[in-house]
Amino acid sequence: MSASPVLHATAQLRDVRLHYVTCGFTDQTTRAVMLLHGWPQSWHEWRHVMPELAEDHAVIAVDLRGLGDSSKPVVGYDKMTLAADLIELAGQLGLTQIAVVGHDWGGAVAAALALQQRQLVTHLAMLDIVLPGIPLPGMGDGLGGYWHMQFHQVMDLPEALVTGREETYIRWFFSNFAHNPAAINPEDVAEYVRCLQQPGALRSGFGYYRAMGDDAVAFAEAARTPLDCPVLALGGAQSIGAGVKLCAEQFANNVIGGVIDHCGHWIPEEKPAELLAQLRQFLA
């Protein structure tokens, strides 16, 4: 089977322009797998997974509001608003059912999407993220131990210190939050830096962290009615690990998953073959 082409497009929504990439779409596509990236990344983090997944599914990878090549509004970085962008995008594209897969903050947006639109989302996969507002038994909120969670919430200071040093800054995360730092090569880093150097990109990215207080309230409320759709929750052994599945079990009834060995935070890039196998089985 010849590989489907990867096609780039943009959609103008009410207050944001989203860049997205499709693979395996036709004019009749109404069901798709939606891939959502984290910070400091873009749709590019799915480059190893997307073409193979498109052998069996229509696939769309979206640059979330404020990141990648999407526009960068001043507001709207709470995860429910980010999910609302994707609901509007799905409507424009004529998608009536989606399986949503999210890594890092993309996993939180994916969960917000599933919690808001239970008829639209058929499957939810969360990769190496736990949700603000969902306490983990014995682990608190699961995010408090990461220094950058607090630093990125400080107004203005991160932008002042990181501007002009974007590559140095994000290389630290790719090296220190990975089991295999070589999984993200210099060309990949250059692509992420290109996006982060666009006007407003640092402010927008830090906005994901500055919205955590609002996110905690929204997730706690939405999770009072547990999800019934299938949930796949995976954490890297050298990162959040079993905490991802533990988090999902607090708000969903049908959870599988666990830990990917010899893997850090960057699952789609460190372990794409294992992730692809798990996604294929989960979505079959």
Alpha-carbon span 120 to 135, nearest angstrom:
26
Closest CA to 95 of 34, 7, 36, 16: 34
Burial of 5 (C-beta count, 10 Å sphere; 0-12/13-18/19+): exposed
- Catalytic-residue membership of 146: no
Host domain of residue 277? 6-283
Q: At what angle do helices 201-210 and 186-196 cross, to 10 degrees?
A: 90
* 120 is a domain residue: yes
Does this model's pTM top 0.75? yes
Instruction: Give me the catalytic one of 20, 77, 169, 209.
Output: 209
pLDDT digits (tens, 9 = 90+) for 203-241: 999 999 999 999 999 999 999 999 999 999 999 999 999
Please provide residue 193's backbone torsions phi and psi, each rounded to the nearest 5 degrees: -65, -40
For the chain, the domain total comes to: 1
* 236 is a domain residue: yes
Alpha-carbon span 188 to 226, nearest angstrom:
38
The owner of tokens 């708000």 is: 251
Within 8 A by CB and 6+ apart from 24, the residues are: 4, 54, 55, 57, 58, 59
Sheet containing strand 59-62, strands side by side: 6-12, 17-23, 59-62, 31-36, 97-103, 121-127, 231-236, 255-260
* CATH number for 181: 3.40.50.1820
The answer to whether the CB of 113 falls within 8 A of the CB of 100 is yes
* 1 is a domain residue: no
- Catalytic-residue membership of 104: yes
Per-position b or e across 62-82, b if 16+ CB within 10 A of its CB: bbbbbbbbbbbbeebbbbbbb
* 206 is a domain residue: yes
Quick one: CA torsion of 180, 161, 103, 9, rounded to 10 degrees? -110
* 212 is a domain residue: yes
pLDDT of residue 141: 67
Instruction: Give me the catalytic one of 63, 104, 128, 215.
Output: 104
Name the region of 76 (left: φ>0; alpha: ψ -120 to 50; beta: rest): left
pLDDT digits (tens, 9 = 90+) for 116-130: 999 999 999 999 999
Mean pLDDT of the chain: 96
- Catalytic-residue membership of 123: no
* 12 is a domain residue: yes
Alpha-carbon span 11 to 274, nearest angstrom:
32
Closest CA to 271 of 161, 203, 144, 184: 184
Closest CA to 242 of 130, 147, 135: 130
* 193 is a domain residue: yes
pLDDT digits (tens, 9 = 90+) for 142-170: 666 789 999 999 999 999 999 999 999 99
* 246 is a domain residue: yes
Instruction: Give me the catalytic one of 19, 44, 179, 265.
Output: 265
